[in-house]
Amino acid sequence: MAPRAIITGAAGLIGQYLVKTAPRWAPGWYVQGLSRAELELTETSKVTAHIHALKPDLLIHCAALSRTKACEQDPAQARRDNVDVTAHLAQLSQNIPFIFLSSGEVFDGKTGGYGESDEPNPINVYGQTKLEAERVVLQNPQHTVVRIVLTSGTAQNGDRSFVEDMCRTAKAGKDVTLYADEFRCPLPASVIARACWELADRRQPGLYHLGGSERLSRWEIGEALLPWYPELKGRLVKGSARNHIGSPRPADLSLRCDKIQRLLSFHIPGFREWLTGGSSRGSDLWDYPDDRA
């Protein structure tokens, strides 16, 4: 029988791509996705029974309360979803590989170019809960934490990626303000999914950073998207993080990813490199083309 991999957060952006790309990047696995509709991860007794019944050989944990504003509004719920659930799943996976999707939000964003050895210092509830969860996961030497930053892609319901958020705002007739002094290293969900499957295959657990190979401001990201998303034309407004009102946002969450790059069979692209890599607007922009593998 093929080994069984369980993907939590299967209705989310990265979870969807992990399930969708499994036949291509993980053909030796039997993959089962779990969404909140199928199993509420905060119901510990039900989760325990379900995982014991499935007997997985690998668990990739993508589910989270990931909207920064939602975490700030309800820190207790953020802790339940992001820390308690992760700790419980890690305990249930104590004898198998466990991959936890974390975030660059564990850093304060004052310097950027963060490597795995740099000291975290989260400035918002989301980052704090992710850091707490990381520390629990990494107590097990078989387990892996992958920090990501900004994910693009096409979700089933069109409401998961930052690109979808921008397009939805523009289609509603509203301007999209993008900070020219806030930096990220965006990466498509399909690349993240492929990297996670390769990490599972390499069996070299630990802490990894995974971001695009290009540091871009939010404004530069928006400009790069214009040829692909005409609905954004005339709606992008250049702004500054100095005028930001709302949940605390790190200024620069660019990551150094040489550690994971050494393990992967493919080059981690920059965002603009990805966009100009031969995809057409009529196809799935975020699938990884064969000729660039």
Question: 52 — phi, psi (to 5°)?
Answer: -60, -35
Which residues are registered as beta bridge partners of 187? 151
> Over the stretch 72-113, which tens digit does the pLDDT of each residue have?
999 999 999 999 999 999 999 999 999 999 999 999 999 999
Give the pair of three-digit tokens for residue 258. Answer: 């040489």
Angle value at C-alpha 79, between 75 and 84, nearest 5 degrees: 165
With a cut of 80, say whether residue 291 has pLDDT above it: no
Q: Please identify which residue in the block is written with the tokens 């510990």.
A: 44
Side-chain-side CA neighbours of residue 64 (13 Å) = 27
* Class of 4-278 in CATH: alpha beta
pTM of the predicted model as reported, rounded to 2 decimal places: 0.92
C-alpha of 130 from chain center: 12
Lowest mean pLDDT among 77-81, 112-116, 175-179, 273-277: 273-277
> Over the stretch 213-268, which tens digit does the pLDDT of each residue have?
999 999 999 999 999 899 999 999 999 999 999 889 999 999 999 999 999 999 99
CA-to-CA dists, residue 156 to 23, 34, 68, 81, 160, angstroms: 18, 15, 22, 22, 9
Task: Give Dmax over CA atoms of the chain in angstroms.
Answer: 57
Give the pair of three-digit tokens for residue 85. Answer: 């659930």
